Amino acid sequence: MKKLNISTFAVRNSAFTTVIFIMIIALGLTTILNMPRSEDPEVHAPTFSIIVVYPGTTPRDIEDRVVNPLEKAISALDDIKRIRTNIANGVAVIQVEYNYNSNVEAKYQEIVREVNSQRGDLPAEIASIEVRKFQPSDTNILQIALISENAPRVTLQYYAERLQDELEKLPPLKKVDIFGLPQQQVRVELDLERMAQMHLPLSAVTGALRSEITDIPGGSIDAGHETFNVKTNNYHTLDEVANTVVFSAGGKNVLLKDIGRVYFGYADDTYLTRLNGHRCLFVGACLKDKENISKAQLLYVPVLDAFKKTLPADIDMVVPFDQATNVNHRLSGLGRDFLIAILLVAFTLLPLGGRSAAIVMISIPLSLAIGIVLLQVVGYNLNQLSIVGLVVALGLLVDDSIVVVENIDRWILEGHSRLDATLKATGQIGMAVLGCTVTLIIAFMPLAFLPEGAGDFIRSLPVAVMFCVLASMFVSLTIIPFLSSRLLKPHAGNPEGNIFMRALKKGIHSSYAPLLNRALKRPWLTITAAVLIFAGSIAVFKVIGFSLFPSSEKPQFMINITAPSQSNLAYTDSITRDIEAELKKERLVKYYAGNVGKGNPRVYYNEVQENERSDFAQIFVELDPDTPPAAKLDFIQTLRNRWTPYPGAKIEVKNFEQGPPVVAPVEVRLFGDNLDTLRQMAAKVETLLKSTPGTFYVTNPVSLLKSDLRVDINKEKAQLLGIPSATIDQAVRMAVTGLTVGKFYTDSKDNYDVIVTRDRGGRPTFDAFRDLYVNNNQGTAVPLAQVADLRLETSQAVIKHQEKRRVVSLQAYVSKGFLVDRVLDDVIRQMNGFHFPPGYSYEMGGEIESRNNSFGGLGAIIIVTVFLFIGVLILEFKTFKSTLIVLSVIPLGVVGASLALWITGNTLSFVAVIGLIALAGIEVKNTILLVDFTNQLRAQGRPLEDAIREAGEIRFLPIVLTSLTAIGGLIPIAVSTNPLISPLAIVLIGGLISSTLLSRVVTPVVYKLIPPRVEPVV
C-alpha cells in the first residue's frame, strides 16, 4: 500500500512537528492582531474624473470649447474603456475609465500629462482643471459636526481648523477636510457711481491691484561670507491693500479706499450644513490604505475627547458618523457567528467520540492561522468578505481531518496498533484527500478570477477559502496523523463507537440500505426521477428572478431633495427644513445631517459627493444602531409613500447599495446628435417608464429647459462709443461674480483670493446691473443699459456624452415586491418596439450593464475551470467513467439551492451564483471519497453491486459528518441580517442537504450503469 511520505515524516519526527504546530499558532495570532482592517474590501479601479470649472458658461459653450477637444485627445490614449461626460452650468465632469487591469498610478500620470498638454489650447477664462482618482479609501471614516446657532462664522472656522490640524497629525488619517464653510477671501467692493464721476475705468483698478499684488522674487546676492535673498515689496496687511494707488491725475493720487472698501469676508453661500436641524460645520477624515481602522480609532478618540473640552460654551461637538464603530460592531458580529459556528461544528463531531473530535477540532485554529497568514502575505486585509470566507472555510476545513481521523479509527478497530493504523489509513485515504482539496480549490477559482470591479470586490472571499482549504489538507496529512498516533486509543467500550455514532450508524443502516437496494434494482427509474427533480429546480430560478447586489443592511440611508430647476439656495433650504422637521418626529432617527446646495461628504465606498447645485440638497440619515434591517426597509418605504409626490420638490429616499456603483436598476440611454430631438424622445421614454408596472423615482434630466439671462450687446453701438466687448464682459463679471486679481498672504503664510466686486449685500440679484458703468477707450463712463439689453433665453440644463456621443440617461428604481428581471424585460420589450429616427438608438445601462461587467469574461474562466476539474479527476481515477460519475452529483445540489432561495425569499443574486459555483466543488469533494472507495473494493475482488453497497454504507458516515460540519459552520451566516453574505450560506446549506441525500442514491446508480474499469490488486 502506497504511503504519503509527508504523513510518515510528520508522525516519525514528532519533535519537529510539535515545533511547527506551535509556530503556526503563534504566527496566526500575531497576524490577526496586527492585520489591517476595514469594513469593505479595497478596490482600486483605474477610473479618473476630470473636473473643469468654467464659470458663467452654458453647457453648450463648455461642450464646444472644452469637452470636445479634451474627449478627442483622451480617446486617442491606449487602454481607454469608457469616456462619459456630464456638462452643466459652468462645470464639466469627464469620467475616464481604463481597462480594469491597467496600472492605476501609471494611467493617472498619463491622463494628467494629456490634460496639461491640452491646457494651452483651452479658453484662458477656465478657473480650474482638476484630475481626481476614484479611490474607495477616500471615503470618510469620520464625520464630525461643530454645532452652534449663534457663534460667529469666523469662530466656527477657527475651531474647525484647529480640529483639522489635530487630526492631520495622526499617521493613519488623510484628507481631513472642512465642509459647509465658504472660502474666506479679501473682498474689494467698489463704489461704481464714484468711479464713474471720476472717469476711473475698472481696468485701472484691477491693473493696479494685479501689479502690486504680484510677488516676483529678487534673487540673492553675496555680501562678504554670506548670501542674502532679495525680497520686493508686497502686501502684508489690509491697510496696505486699501492704500494702493489706483489712479493719478493732476498731481493727485486716488487710493483704493477712496473708491471702495477692503475687508476680510467670505464667498457667497453655496453650501449650507446642519446636524439635526442645527447650524454646523462638518469635519471629515479618511483612512490611508493598508491601515487598521480599529487601531486608528484608538488614536483619534482621545484627540476628539480632549478637543471637545477646549470648545467654548456656545459650540458643541458631535460625532454622528464613525465608521470604526460600525466596523468593530460588524467584525465582532462575524466573530460571534464564528464562535457559534465552531460550537455547531463541535456538536456535529460528537459521533466521532471525544478524542477523535478533539483532534479534528485542532485542525480549525491551525488551518485558519495558516490561511490568515497567507491572506496577509498576498495583500488582503480583514473585512466583511474575507471574514465570511474564513467562516465558509470553517465548515470545509475539518472535512479532510474528519475523513483521516475516521479512517484511522476504523483501522484501530480492526486491531492495528496506533502507529500502524495511522500510517496505513493515511496512505489509503491520502490521494483521495489530495484530489478532494484540489477540486475544491478549482471550484473557487472562477470566483477568484472574476473580472472588473465586482471581482475585485468579492475576491478576498474565495481566496480566504482557498488558502484555508489548502492549509487544511496540509494539517490533515501532517499534524492530524501525528496527533492521532499519540492520542487515539482502542475502543474500550462498544466497538461500534459511542451512543451518537451507534445511533447514526443504525439510522444509516436501517434507512439507507433498503433505499439503495430499491434504487439499484430500478436504476433507470431513479435516474428519470433525478432528472425531473433537477428540471423542476431550474424552473424555480425563473420564479425567484435574478438580481446583482443587495441593499446595505446598515441603519443608514440618504434623502435626495431636488427642487424645481434653477431654484435658489433659499428655496431649496426651505424644503430641506420641512423634511428635517418631519425626521425630528421619528423615534428611529438618531442623526440627520442636512446638506443644502451639495451632497453629504462621502461616507459609503460606492457613493461620491454630489457637486454644488443650488436646486439640490441631501440628508444623510442615521437610525438607532440596533434598528433591524427589516425595520429600516419598512421605514424607508413609509417615507417614500409619504413624500411621493411632494409639493414643490422631488424627494427620493434611497438606501445604500452593495457592490460596484450602479446609477439605478433601470437605465435607458438614448443616443443622437440633435438636442431637441433627444429631448422629445426622452419625454416619450419617460412616459413609457412611468407606465411600466414596478417602477418609481423615474428621472428625466432633460425634461425641463433652463432660463439664462443674456446680456445682449449692441456691438455696433458699442464700437461707435469705443467700448470693446471684453470691457463689457469684465464689468458684468465683476458685478455678478467678482474678479479674482491675485492672492493675499498673511504673516502666518495663509493665502486668500483677492476679489474685486461692486458693493452689494448677500447673493447677487438683478440689482447687480443697477448703475453699472463701462468705460470707453477715453475713460468716459457709459451706463451698461446704453450698449446692452438684458433678456431671458432658454437653453439645455445639462448635456451628457458617452464615448464622445450625445446621450440622455433616463433612470428608474424598482418597487418592493417586483422582480428587477421582470421589470427590465418589460422595459426592453417596449423599447424594442420604439420608433427611432435615423441616426438615433438606445441601450440599456444600470443593472444590465453592471451584470455584463461583473460576469463578462466569466465564461472563459468557467471553461478553464471545468477542464481543470475534469483533468484532476482523470489524473486521480485514470478513467472518464469515474470522472463522469463524480460530476453527475453537481445537478443534485442545484435542487436544494434553488428551493432554499425560494423558501427564504431571496433572488439568485451575484453572491448566490458564487455559492452555486462553490457548491459544485464541495459536492464533488464528497463524491470523490465514495467513488474512490468503491474502486478500491472492486480492485480487491468484490462484486460490483456488493462494492457499491459496502462503499455507500461505509463512506456515508464521513460524508454525512463532513456535510453536517459544513452546514453547522454556515448556519450563523445564513441567519445573519447581512443580505450580502446570507444568500451564499443559504445556497450552500440547501445544496449540501439535497446533494448529500440524493447523491447517496443517484451516484451508486450511475456507477452501476457505467462502471469504470478497475485494475485488480495483485
pLDDT, tens digit, 9 for 90 and up, residues 526-538: 999 999 999 999 9
CA distances from 3 to 15, 18, 818 (A): 21, 21, 58
Q: Which of 398, 402, 471, 473 is nearest to 435 (CA)?
A: 473
316-322 vs 556-562, strand pairing mode = unpaired
On the 0-12 / 13-18 / 19+ scale of CB atoms within 10 A, 300 is buried
> How many Cβ atoms sit within 10 Å of the Cβ of residue 182?
15
For residue 782, what is its C-alpha cell? Answer: 457709459
Determine the angle formed by the axes of helices 354-377 and 323-348, rounding to 10 degrees: 150
The answer to whether residues 278 and 194 touch, using CB atoms and an 8 Å cutoff, is no
What phi and psi values does residue 128 have, to the nearest 5 degrees?
A: -160, 150
Q: Rounded CA gap, 928 and 922, in Å?
A: 10
For residue 243, what is its C-alpha cell? Answer: 492704500
Domains of the chain: 201-217+234-258+723-794 (no CATH), 503-544+857-1017 (1.20.1640.10)
What phi and psi values does residue 77 have, to the nearest 5 degrees?
A: -75, 155
Q: Rounded CA gap, 665 and 560, in Å?
A: 17
Q: Rounded CA gap, 1001 and 892, in Å?
A: 11
**How does DSSP assign 648-688, residue by residue?**
TBEEEEEE-B-SS--S-SEEEEEE-S-HHHHHHHHHHHHHH
Strand, helix or coil for residue 43: coil
> How many Cβ atoms sit within 10 Å of the Cβ of residue 3?
13
Q: Rounded CA gap, 36 and 683, in Å?
A: 50
Give the rounded distance of the alpha carbon of 307 from its chain centre: 32
Q: Is the dihedral of CA 162, 165, 170, 172 positive or negative?
A: positive
Q: Which of 811, 812, 816, 997 is nearest to 907 (CA)?
A: 816
On the 0-12 / 13-18 / 19+ scale of CB atoms within 10 A, 342 is buried
Q: Which of 971, 986, 963 is nearest to 912 (CA)?
A: 986
The angle at the Cα of 1012, spanning 1007 to 1015, to the nearest 5 degrees, equals 135
Q: Rounded CA gap, 592 and 608, in Å?
A: 18
Q: Rounded CA gap, 377 and 695, in Å?
A: 47
DSSP 63: I
> How many Cβ atoms sit within 10 Å of the Cβ of residue 246?
22
Give me the residue label for grid cell 491606449.
78
Per-residue HEC secondary structure of 414-428 comes to CCCCHHHHHHHHHHH
184-190 vs 751-758, strand pairing mode = parallel
Interval 613-635: pLDDT, tens: 888 999 999 999 889 888 999 99
For residue 584, what is its C-alpha cell? Answer: 425630528
Q: Rounded CA gap, 624 and 136, in Å?
A: 26
For residue 327, what is its C-alpha cell? Answer: 466596523
Q: Which of 685, 691, 621 is nearest to 653 (CA)?
A: 621
pLDDT score of 591: 96
Q: Rounded CA gap, 911 and 330, in Å?
A: 19
Q: Is the dihedral of CA 793, 798, 802, 808 positive or negative?
A: negative
Give me the residue label for grid cell 439507507.
512
CA atoms in the 13 A half-sphere facing the CB of 145: 25
> How many Cβ atoms sit within 10 Å of the Cβ of residue 626?
7
Q: Is 722 left (phi over 0), alpha (psi -120 to 50) or beta?
A: left
695-699 vs 278-287, strand pairing mode = unpaired
650-655 vs 556-562, strand pairing mode = antiparallel
CA atoms in the 13 A half-sphere facing the CB of 567: 21
DSSP 37: B
Q: Rounded CA gap, 160 and 751, in Å?
A: 17
Q: Is the dihedral of CA 96, 563, 569, 621 positive or negative?
A: negative
CA distances from 584 to 145, 558, 578, 591, 592 (A): 17, 15, 10, 9, 8
The answer to whether residues 244 and 255 touch, using CB atoms and an 8 Å cutoff, is yes
The answer to whether residues 400 and 7 touch, using CB atoms and an 8 Å cutoff, is no
Give me the residue label for grid cell 477610473.
47
Q: What average pLDDT values come out for the chain (1018 residues) when binned by 10 residues?
A: 64 84 86 79 84 84 92 92 89 90 90 91 85 82 94 92 94 92 87 84 86 73 73 75 83 86 85 94 91 90 94 94 86 76 76 78 86 89 82 76 79 78 79 79 81 79 90 86 80 62 71 82 90 91 82 91 88 95 94 94 87 90 91 93 90 88 90 92 94 92 82 85 84 84 76 84 76 81 86 84 93 88 92 91 90 74 79 83 88 92 87 83 80 86 87 79 81 82 89 87 89 77
Identify the helix (H) or strand (E) that includes residue 695: strand 695-699
On the 0-12 / 13-18 / 19+ scale of CB atoms within 10 A, 846 is buried
Give the rounded distance of the alpha carbon of 386 from its chain centre: 15
pLDDT score of 233: 58
The answer to whether residues 424 and 411 touch, using CB atoms and an 8 Å cutoff, is yes
Q: Is 824 left (phi over 0), alpha (psi -120 to 50) or beta?
A: alpha
What residues have CB less than 8 Å from 905, skipping those under 6 apart?
Answer: none
> How many Cβ atoms sit within 10 Å of the Cβ of residue 926?
26
Q: Rounded CA gap, 3 and 10, in Å?
A: 12
